[in-house]
Chain A
Amino acid sequence: LAKTTQPISMDSYEGQEVNITCSHNNIATNDYITWYQQFPSQGPRFIIQGYKTKVTNEVASLFIPADRKSSTLSLPRVSLSDTAVYYCLVGDWGTGRRALTFGSGTRLQVQP
């Protein structure tokens, strides 16, 4: 599985856009990029997944450049409730039989 590197922590203010970048230089052809969010004492929650270019859903956007060696999670207009740890994961889980390998994650702190 490709190793991922993300900033340990980030600070932001309510209403700002937050971009968290993850590098994954060894990503394989079949690998997808997935982001999870985790609040304290809760299980991780799926945010978004992509393979290339840009993916957008109701909560976030995911930007993936052509070489796919990095990806950026974009959270528009964050609120206090977006304070959490965000994990970037890379892998091929199409069969559903492979576990996710979590890196250190990025601890986002949103302040009023």
Chain B
Amino acid sequence: GAVVSQHPSRVICKSGTSVKIECRSLDFQATTMFWYRQFPKQSLMLMATSNEGSKATYEQGVEKDKFLINHASLTLSTLTVTSAHPEDSSFYICSASLMGSYEQYFGPGTRLTVT
């Protein structure tokens, strides 16, 4: 089946630094990938939709200058958390789907801790 990977799985960074999270579709091409954020004991919240070769579409309340998304190829999307603060500590999850498919495939998630 379709596999989505994320790297790193866990990262700890200091406040004020930037962190890049990679999302890869390993055995299929994804023209669209999605980034979600999940706080403890809460549901997934969509942050942005990443389209290959174009600018990402951000959900209301998500700062595009803080959460930089790049979708340079059909198999890779990256999320960069710039000038991270402790409140950015969360579980970040990406997903992708095959064109014409109803099923979305999720990555294993990245646990970000900002100290």
Pair A96/B43 contact, Cβ less than 8 Å: no
Report how far A94 CA is from B100 CA in the complex, Å.
Answer: 5
Pair A96/B99 contact, Cβ less than 8 Å: yes
Chain B residues within 8 Å of A46, by CB? 103-105
Pair B43/A105 contact, Cβ less than 8 Å: yes
Interface centre among A45, A96, A97, A102 (most CB of B within 10 A): A96
Pair A96/B97 contact, Cβ less than 8 Å: yes
Pair B104/A100 contact, Cβ less than 8 Å: yes
Chain A residues within 8 Å of B97, by CB? 93, 96
- For A89, the closest partner residue in chain B by CB is B104
Pair A41/B43 contact, Cβ less than 8 Å: no
- For B106, the closest partner residue in chain A by CB is A43
Pair B46/A43 contact, Cβ less than 8 Å: no
Pair B43/A103 contact, Cβ less than 8 Å: yes
Partner of B104, one of A41, A93, A105: A93
Pair B102/A34 contact, Cβ less than 8 Å: yes
Chain A residues within 8 Å of B34, by CB? 99-100
Pair B43/A104 contact, Cβ less than 8 Å: yes
Pair A49/B102 contact, Cβ less than 8 Å: yes
For the complex of A and B, 5 pairs with smallest distance between CB atoms: A43-B106, A96-B97, A102-B44, A102-B43, A99-B34
Please name 12 further chain A to chain B contacts, defined as beta carbons within 8 Å, in addition to the given A43-B95, A100-B34, sorted by A numbering: A41-B109, A43-B93, A43-B108, A46-B103, A95-B99, A96-B100, A96-B101, A97-B31, A100-B44, A100-B95, A102-B36, A104-B43
Q: Which residues of A contact B (CB under 8 A)?
A: 32, 34, 36, 41-46, 49, 87, 93-97, 99-105
